[in-house]
Chain A
Amino acid sequence: MEAKESKNFLKPIYFVLNEAGEITYFSLRFFRLIFKRPFEFSEFVRQCYYIGNKSLPLVAVTALIMGLVITIQSRPTLVEFGAEAWLPKMVSVSLVREIVPVITALICAGKIGSGIGAELGSMKVTEQIDAMEVSGTNPFKFLVVTRVLGTTLMIPVLTVLADAISLYGAYLGTNIRGVVSWNLFWNQVFDVLVYADIIPSLLKTFFFGFAIGIVGCYKGYNSQKGTEGVGISANSSVVISSLLVFVLDLIAVQITDLLGFT
């Protein structure tokens, strides 16, 4: 009885370790093929367009709202300490260093990660991946490498745009209750923001993008159980990549702290 219980207890641990191993192996396959000819350049460009352009409206609206909300929420506390003038500085550091990269990555995990998981999953169950292989194309290179490169490069671009839009939201938020001129606001923002704020936060978004792409592709590419499997792939892509975003963020914070960028 005890042995059975311990077996049940070990099952989820075994599952997590197994998944981690499989995703690592999948990632190594990606790195092995990335520099191998032929380069699927047109598919890569198509994926960049799809990932970047199609996600931009959602990311932009969310960034604007984030900027507004964080500013409106922070104001009362700063007013209490008589530090209202610090509002643009405090909000811009919070947004650029942490909030915008993480929220953008989470939105992309939901939109792009699930999309990749579902698309590749449905291609798998309808034998389109096999058809590609029969057509003399390496499906891993055509489908996985292009998508993972697309997310790795496009999510930082989306984050930079989201940073700018969220700061504009913060400007609007500052002016809802107070009056801060356009020039004064941006002077304060760029007075406080230094490269040590921007570069580490931008660098981690490459890793967020890679994690979202690789998990979505892994789940879709290994989809099973027919159409039910497609749903499972899409869902687990979002769950795992969102979790990975937080884990990577934690690691990034520790590293920047160790390197003295805080």
Chain B
Amino acid sequence: MDFNTEKDVVIKVRNLYKSFGNNKVLIDFNLDLFSGECVAVLGKSGSGKSVLIKCIIGLIKYERGEIKVLGNEISELETDELDKIRAQVGFLFQSNALYDSMTVKENLLFPLRRHKRNLSNIEVNSLVEEALDNVKLPHTANMMPSELSGGMKKRIALARTLILKPKIILYDEPTTGLDPITSREISNLMIEIQEKYKTSSVLISHDINCVKIVADRIVMLIDGTNYKQGLYDELKNSNDIKVTHFFN
């Protein structure tokens, strides 16, 4: 892929600084996500990966720096404006975050009813069906989240993320807690979705297999900074022990 122009950038992070008390999590972190690509942010547990994407979606306020999503500076947006941006940015939570008290269908309807109020019931039902078909779980609409396996929950969470047809998807550790086979299935599903809907995505993970399958480019988040970035093979063959440590 060739990404050169500023116009192609859908997420731009500059000099991002975030600390919790004395713990400096992100120190002048930079990131560019170009249209149609998937960037993986690789780092150890507790290195600030999840904090980064929660800052991008506006769930965590950052202290310094700049985050532009689809050209909008996140920290300057009013709640309504932020909601409009959020409708275009899907977020797959590490814990899936399915609403326990709602069925699968109600879970999918929740964002739909809030962001797209003008849709008829027929359109809504067809979007739900499409989202469930995308994740290959068309028969689960009336099931409760507690009746689903870990892999199924992840797929439904992905379906809920997809239902608004977002331009960008932020994946927070999508394969954590899954067996290797299910992890591979989820990774393949992520590629299918990216190809089908032409989404751009940021993948937060320390699962190197998932990163290898899904990511076009990798950014190493070490000591709060974007320590190094490059293609999978470039980083794997790097001489830097801090980098190669992740690939062995």
Least distance between B60 CB and chain A CB atoms (Å): 9
Segment with Cβ contacts to A, from B88-96, B198-206, B208-216: B88-96
Would A135 and B110 count as touching, CB distance under 8 A? yes
Among A122, A128, A131, A138, residue most surrounded by chain B Cβ atoms (within 10 Å): A131
Contact of A128 among B54, B57, B79, B100 (CB under 8 A): B100
* B86 interface neighbour in A122, A126, A134, Cβ under 8 Å: A134
Chain B contacts with A in 66-114, Cβ cutoff 8 A: 79, 83, 86-87, 91, 93-101, 110-111, 114
A interface secondary structure, majority: helix
- CA–CA, A127 and B60, complex, Å: 13
B59 is an interface residue with CB less than 8 A from chain A: yes
Complexed CA–CA distance, A138 and B93 (Å): 18
User: Taking the nearest CB of chain A, how far is it from the CB of B98, in angstroms?
Assistant: 8
Chain B residues near A131 (CB-CB < 8 A): 91, 93, 97, 99
Answer whether residue A137 sits at the interface, using C-beta atoms and an 8 A cutoff.
yes
Residue from the list A119, A122, A133 in contact with B59, Cβ < 8 A: A133
Tell me, yes or no, whether A57 is within 8 Å of chain B by CB.
no
Give complex CA distance A127, B57 in Å.
14
B14 close to chain A: CB less than 8 A: no
Whether A260 sits at the interface, judged by CB under 8 Å, is no
Instruction: Name the distance in Å between B155's Cβ and chain A's nearest Cβ.
Output: 16
A123 to B10, CA, bound (A): 31
Output the least CB separation between A173 and chain B (Å): 40
A136/B97 in contact, CB under 8 A: no
Q: Is the CB of A134 within 8 A of B95?
A: no
Which residues does B use to contact A, with CB under 8 Å? Answer: 54, 57, 59, 79, 83, 86-87, 91, 93-101, 110-111, 114-115
12 chain-A/chain-B pairs, Cβ below 8 angstroms:
A122-B100, A123-B99, A126-B96, A128-B100, A131-B97, A132-B110, A135-B86, A135-B110, A135-B115, A136-B87, A136-B111, A136-B115
With A126-B100, A127-B94, A135-B110 given, name 8 new contacts (CB 8 A): A119-B101, A123-B99, A126-B96, A126-B97, A127-B97, A131-B91, A135-B111, A135-B115
